[in-house]
Amino acid sequence: MADLLVRNIAPELERRIKENARKNKRSLSAEAKALLQKGLVGPEPPAKMGTFLFSLLEDEYRGDDLVFERNDLVSPPPNFE
């Protein structure tokens, strides 16, 4: 395997990579390789609309009945008189 040396990394970028490595329980080297691999693969495909809508709800409002209803967000209709 080949080695790769990256010089003059901005301090903020280094901090973010180290933070991600800790969060993902990887070494700094493993995190850098994962980020490079992810960058070469390209962006993730967009989520389907149902999946996206489901992700907007907090866990307590999620269910398998396919009804997306939040009564606490509904405001009364305006009074035009």
pLDDT in tens, 8-42: 999 999 999 999 999 999 999 999 999 999 888 87
Q: Which amino acid is at 76?
A: P
The pTM score is 0.50
The predicted-structure confidence for 42-76, as pLDDT tens digits, reads as follows 777 777 888 888 888 887 777 666 565 666 766 77
Domain ranges of the chain: 11-41
Distances (CA, A) of 27 to 34, 36, 44, 69: 10, 14, 24, 43
